[in-house]
Amino acid sequence: MNLTPKQLEVIELIRQCQNDHGYSPTMQELAEQIGVSKVTVFERIEALIRKGALTREANRARSLSIAESITERYEKKENAAMRFPLVGRIAAGMPIERCEDSETLDLTSMFGPRVGQRGDTFALRVEGESMKDEGILDGDFVLVQKQSTAKNGDRVVALLPDGETTLKTFYKETNGTIRLQPANTEFDPIIVKHCVVQGIVTGVLRSY
């Protein structure tokens, strides 16, 4: 079913109203949100009904319903948006060898459908206790936003010169070295002249 951008805008507004309030918008409400006349909205609605994207009961103000096929399309899109590539494990202790695989972390199954999505985000499972004082525990998942720069105080996934990766708090010292600071007094900081920042931690996920 091919829908125009303007028709998709109508579908999205109807869907949003149903999700937020439990009922469909009126023609007048749609017209006000889109910024067009009520006649124009009526024409778009009629076109969507002819295409089978919408249904409507006669003589009811809030009777618009989205076709099941369109609803399923949105659900598939949202479910896909709740999956992040699970690219391996990250050391929150001593560094471990970097690994990658094709698994995904499905946030929908873990935390429900309202968890948001950020572009260029991947997930890592934490191993170790070096970040526990910041609430990042062994077995947790961290969501990491891909980027190659960091500022002091950022929690980063860092690729070390020996090819290993670690999760620590980033600090660039005045002497030019980089300190990767654990959040556990039982661990020593890692001091290097150079490391590659692979991403910034944006969230910590834990299921019970």
Asked if 168 is an active-site residue, the reply is yes
For helices 5-21 and 38-51, the axis angle rounded to 10 degrees is 90
Q: Which of 76, 132, 168, 207 is catalytic?
A: 168
Pair of tokens at residue 78: 């949202």
Asked if 207 is an active-site residue, the reply is no
* Separation between Cα atoms, residue 173 and residue 175, nearest integer Å: 5
Residues forming a β-bridge with 106:
83
DSSP category for residue 24: P
Q: Is the distance from CB of 201 to CB of 142 less than 8 angstroms? A: yes
Q: Which of 51, 63, 130, 172 is catalytic?
A: 130
Active site residues: 130, 168
